[in-house]
Structure formats: C-alpha cells, structure tokens
Amino acid sequence: MDVYGIIGNPVEHSLSPPLHQAAFDHLGIDARFVTFEADPDRIEEAFRGAEALGIDGLTVTLPFKHDAYEFVDPEESVERVGAVNTIDFTDDGPIGYNTDMTGTLRAFEHHDVELDGTNAVVVGAGGAARALAFGFEEAGADVAVTNRTESKAHDLAEDVPGATGHGLDELPDLMAEADVVANATSVGLESDESVAPADAWHGDCVAFDAVYKPLETRFLGDAAAAGAQTIDGAWMLLFQGVDAFETWTGEDAPVDVMNEALRSHL
C-alpha cells in the first residue's frame, strides 16, 4: 500500500485526506492519505523520517511551507514562490512543488478565464498572495499588489516581474481598471466582512476569494451583485490537490470526484 499525507500543525481539520482518498478509491489505487501533526521543533527529523519510511508524497501546510524548501530539490514554481506545498519522494530524492500557484491557474482555466493580458489585483501580501501574484504573472497578467501594510505590498511586488505595490486606500481605483480581483487576506474568514468596498465592484471582472469558510463570502457576494463572475476558495483548494495528485501518481485526477468529496466536507 502507498502512503501519502499532509504535514502541518495543526492538521486535524484538514480537507486534504477526504480530497485525496476519494481520488485513490475512485481509481482503485491501493493508497492511504493520512495526517501528520509534526512538532515544529523537530521538522528536519520529520521530513528525513518521512523519506526514510518510504512515504510516497506529502502535502505541506502551515507552518512548514518555508522550512520544507531546505529538504527538497525545488521545482521551478518553488524557486519562484519560495514555498513548498507538495513533496514527491522519488528514487532521485524528494522534489518540491508549489501547487498553490499552479493549481490556482488551473482553477481559472476550469472557469474559462483567460489571464493573459489582463489587469489582476491581488489583495494581501502573505503566503497566499505570493502564490497568486506569481501565478497571475506567469499566466501573462499585469499584477498589482495591495495590502493593509503597504511596505509588504512593495516587497512582494519587487519579487514579481512587472508588478506594482500599493496601499489598501488605492484598492477602489485599482478595481476600476481590473479584470481580476483576488482576495488573499484573511478578511471574510468566518466573518461577514469584505476587504473590498461594495461600491467599487463592476460587472466586467472576475472575483476570486482564497477564503473558503464560508464559501459564499461577502467579497464574492458584493462582486456577484455588481454582475461580476465569481470563483470561490474551494476551487484553489481543489486544484492544488489535483495538481499534487497528478504529480504523485502520474494519472489524470478524477476532478469531479475530488470536487464532490471536498464540497461535502465544507
């Protein structure tokens, strides 16, 4: 039997086990996907131990996405974003991927949203914002990063080719010109708030929210009310998993099965 898992702390409420187990079961692959709540002070032992035990693949979540970099051969997406969310233990050693970035692009493709040549606004400057900003840039968008702490927006924008950094006060002006507006802040997580003013939305754009609790955030609700297309945070979660699954197994992931499993647990 193959063994895959998610390493993080905490991981108790992770949606990765049902997401991946549904795919393994559907394809008749003899594998189990389990949770590993690792001790943050013993993370090197944890990664080396996983390799020594013959674990086949890991999803890496907070707070280990940066630490993991040291223990893998980084694939291109990892070198760019500076964080690892997927490890494939191969005969040549552990290879690190960032499917938060590549998966988000697949989520947009799945919704027939062409990013090339668009103006994309990323709100936030943390880990999620980094994956989105690099992903959008890679897909050919002009990226503007806006954040409450403006200096962090400038820091991120400096790393992303062609991107600009802004304070949150500039968000309404940026939205007026935007084709895509993505929330990568924690605003809206288990609350009815939005980081974007309701009256700044227009119908000619796509709204994406990295928050998935609740699925229907105020951010997306305001966007939809203005006639904008919306993509909820479960799609990012789904496709980072789809990309990881395909990297590990070399099989086409059963996307509909995984989507159903994920949404039934949300």
Residues that bind ligand ATR (CB under 6 A): 124-129, 147-149, 152, 184-187, 195
Least distance from C-beta 206 to ligand ATR, angstroms? Answer: 20
Nearest to 221 by CA among 246, 204, 196: 196
Nearer to ligand ATR (CB atom), residue 22 or residue 125: 125
Residues 6 or more apart from 199 whose CB is under 8 A from it?
A: none
Residues 6 or more apart from 221 whose CB is under 8 A from it?
A: none
The side-by-side arrangement of strands in the sheet containing 86-90 is: 31-37, 2-8, 57-60, 86-90, 93-97, 73-74
In the complex, which residue's CB is closest to ligand ATR? 126
Q: Does 213 qualify as catalytic in the annotation?
A: no
Least distance from C-beta 216 to ligand ATR, angstroms? Answer: 20
Least distance from C-beta 212 to ligand ATR, angstroms? Answer: 12
Nearer to ligand ATR (CB atom), residue 26 or residue 152: 152
Alpha-carbon distance 245 to 25, whole Å?
13
Nearer to ligand ATR (CB atom), residue 97 or residue 248: 97
Catalytic residue among 24, 38, 65, 133: 65
Residues with catalytic annotation? Answer: 65
